[in-house]
Amino acid sequence: MGEMIGPDGSRPPRRNPTAGFRVFEGEATIVLPDGSYIKVLNETGSRIWDLLDGSRGVKEIAALIAEEFETAPEAAERDVREFVEELARHGMLEKR
Amino acid sequence: MNPYQAMIARNWKAATPYSALFELTYICNHACSFCYNCPTGEKELNTEQVFEALRKIADFGVLFITLSGGEPLCRKDFFAIAAEAQRLHFAIRIYTNGYLIDEAVAERLAKEVHPFEMEISLHGARPESHEALTRVPGSFVKLVAGVRALRKRGIKVLLKTPITKLNMNELREMRALAEDLGAEIHFDPVVTPKDDGDQEPLQMGADEEFMKRWWSDEFLDVREEKVPMRRDDKEIAAVCGVGRSGFAVDPYGNIYPCVQWRRKVANILEIPSLRDVWKGSTVLAEVRRVAEEIPRTTLKNSDVGEFTAFCAGVAWLQTGDPTRMYHQAELTARFRKKAYLELKARSDAGEVIEGLDNVFEKCAE
């Protein structure tokens, strides 16, 4: 697909810059230009989305999520990785 | 209710808008006989002022922005404005007549603006009918080429067609044209008055005899609304989302509750933030109150109320009273009710009719 993130998270994932989005009451709503795909993220997803600015790898994001949401680091990393891959599948991350 | 609908409902309840329509200019390269715009001759916002307005709209949390006009592409700074909207992470829709969209413009739209939808006005299935309304020779061919250029780049196109006396006999051909172009098409059986209340555009609307046919089985293959939807006025909180889910800004920066209901709320350049005026505006409080009152009074007291697509802005323009039933709405509702009852009778006789029990959502966008 061309936009997949490396398994070690070494290529920092970044939000698709063409996606429209807003955060309202802690929930991010994202609209993709190609296909008009609309997705609403929960609080954790919205925070991950916020952190996907291209400056952090998956591990770093997961560490922040584990700390902020008081979850086990291993579980946070697994969840963040799955979530980032899901976003990539839907074209919500920049193709890099 | 999916998460997106839940978000809409939450925004609606909190009266926090998620969409805005921004008329960037009243300049237009068409001369449509029924255009509702009423330029005042004031100076339109310059590039920096548009940027300031966009920033205030974004800061307020609005996600969807429609860049409209006049003809928005007539602005020389259109792409600078669209780029700023993109930078502010809006989901961008552009409402245009398509005349200026050639391959190069379509390419820039695809590469620089990334609109999630282009809405383009189509007035006929052939040059004679389309151009009878636009009054610009060659506009039909340019529109068709523009839509093809956009579709070639994967940009979604919605053709918008007010049904008029000039095109009412070629709706089927227009739908076929849309399909050929890979575009969607939406027919609007209601022509609205001008923004200053001038009723002259209504003369262009399709006649009563046609409207009766439109809501009959004859146009089942053309209409999007196969079964006329009813409104459960016991459940519905307000007739529409006016003053809650969105607002409009004209080329001078004036903010209105809705593109149809132009009661000035404020000028966007004269306020520190939209948040400040949104909660405290007496105009907005009034339009919200009226929108809530209409289902409980106007529609409840009408025998066709549950079938009425009522617009308080149009009522205000046509009667001077936003709560008063207007002829256009009542007439359409009668045809819709008649069509519904005929389908209901067929359903009662054993025929399977899908969507017969559908009602409008409790809150409207």
- 3-state per-residue secondary structure call for chain B: CCHHHHHHHHHHHCCCCCEEEEECCCCCCCCCCCCCCCCCCCCCCCHHHHHHHHHHHHHCCCCEEEEECCCHHHCCCHHHHHHHHHHCCCEEEEEECCCCCCHHHHHHHHHHHCCCEEEEECCCCCHHHHHHHHCCCCHHHHHHHHHHHHHHCCCCEEEEEECECCCCCCHHHHHHHHHHHCCEEEEECCCCCCCCCCCHHHHHECCHHHHHHHCCHHHCCCCCCCCCCECCCCCCCCCCCECCCEEEECCCCEEECCCCCCCCCEEHHHCCCHHHHHHHCHHHHHHHHHHHHHHHCCCCCCCCHHHCCCCHHHHHHHHCCCCCCCHHHHHHHHHHHHHHHHHHHHHHCCCCCCCCCCECCCCCC
Residues 87-146, chain B, touching A (beta carbon < 8 A): 89-92, 114-117
Contact B18 A22 (CB under 8 A): yes
* Residue B234: predicted pLDDT: 67
User: Per this entry, what is the length of chain B?
Assistant: 365
Segment among A25-34, B209-218, B306-315 with least mean pLDDT? A25-34
Whether B31 has a pLDDT exceeding 50, the answer reads yes
ipTM of the complex: 0.81
Whether A3 has a pLDDT exceeding 70, the answer reads no
* Residue B28: predicted pLDDT: 92
Residue indicated by tokens 């009243």: B26
CA angle, B358 then B364 then B365, to 5° = 125
Roughly what angle, to the nearest 10 degrees, separates helices B139-152 and B127-134? Answer: 100
Contact B89 A21 (CB under 8 A): yes
Closest Cβ opposite residue B91 in set A20, A27, A34: A20
Whether B364 has a pLDDT exceeding 50, the answer reads no
Closest Cβ opposite residue A22 in set B3, B4, B61: B61
Closest Cβ opposite residue B3 in set A18, A32, A40: A40
User: Is A19 within 8 Å of chain B by CB?
Assistant: yes
Contact B64 A20 (CB under 8 A): yes
Residues 40-79, chain A, touching B (beta carbon < 8 A): 40
Closest Cβ opposite residue A18 in set B10, B11, B114: B114
The rounded percent of chain A whose pLDDT value lies above 70 is 85
* Residue B359: predicted pLDDT: 63
Strand order in the sheet with B91-96: B184-188, B157-162, B117-121, B91-96, B64-68, B19-23, B246-249, B254-256, B266-267
* Residue B363: predicted pLDDT: 38
Residues of B whose CB is below 8 A from A18: 86, 114
Residues of A whose CB is below 8 A from B89: 19-22
User: Is A27 within 8 Å of chain B by CB?
Assistant: yes
- pLDDT tens-digit readout, B105-153: 999 999 999 999 999 999 999 999 999 999 999 999 999 999 999 999 9
Q: Given pLDDT bands bounded at 50, 70 and 90, which one contains residue B360? A: low
Q: Given pLDDT bands bounded at 50, 70 and 90, which one contains residue B362? A: very low
The rounded percent of chain B whose pLDDT value lies above 90 is 66
Residues 44-63, chain B, touching A (beta carbon < 8 A): 61-63
| CA atoms of B205 and B217, how far apart (whole Å) | 21
More confident residue, B44 or B309: B44
| Other Cβ atoms closer than 10 A to A55 | 10
Interface A–B counts its CB contacts (< 8 A) at: 55
| CA atoms of A6 and B355, how far apart (whole Å) | 47
User: Is B1 within 8 Å of chain A by CB?
Assistant: no
User: Is A32 within 8 Å of chain B by CB?
Assistant: yes
More confident residue, B15 or B300: B300
Q: Which of B4, B116, B119 to probe the A interface (max A CBs under 10 A)?
A: B116
More confident residue, B196 or B58: B58
* pTM of the complete model: 0.90
Whether B355 has a pLDDT exceeding 90, the answer reads no
Residue of B nearest to A30 (CA): B91
Residue of B nearest to A26 (CA): B7
What type of residue sits at position B213?
A: R
* Residue B110: predicted pLDDT: 94
What is the average pLDDT across B40-67? Answer: 96
Residue of B nearest to A38 (CA): B4
In the predicted model, what is the mean pLDDT of chain B? 90
Whether B235 has a pLDDT exceeding 80, the answer reads no
| CA atoms of B313 and B322, how far apart (whole Å) | 6
Residue indicated by tokens 């389309």: B130
